[in-house]
Amino acid sequence: MKNNDKIWKYRKIIGLIRSRVDRSQCTTTEIIEYMKEMHGHDSRPNELERALMKSNRIHKIGTTQCNGKMVSIWASDWNK
């Protein structure tokens, strides 16, 4: 697959995950299951994070250290 094709495929996957998140409240487990069932794709952590960062309803509000690693803290419009 050409590099340009890979980029467009990646962007399409991000868009599909983002649209699922923006449509209704869901967990990452539900997103992963949705992508497997509907699109035959095993979502990677970087794809999930990128989609969440682009979501209209989920916002990264900070980071914290957990078990020696930095992790992101997210907030959603549904929990306001």
Of residues 16 and 74, more confidence is placed in 16
Rounded distance between C-alpha atoms, residue 37 and residue 63, angstroms: 31
How many domains is the chain built from? 1
**Residue with the larger pLDDT of the pair 70 and 59:** 70
Give the Cα separation of 76 and 22 in Å (integer): 10
3-state secondary structure string, 10-62?
A: HHHHHHHHHHHHHHCCCCHHHHHHHHHHHHCCCCCHHHHHHHHHHCCCEEEEE
Structural domain including 44 reads 3-79
Q: What is the pLDDT of residue 10?
A: 94
Domain CATH for 74: 1.10.10
pLDDT digits (tens, 9 = 90+) for 7-59: 999 999 999 999 999 998 888 899 999 999 999 999 999 999 899 888 888 88
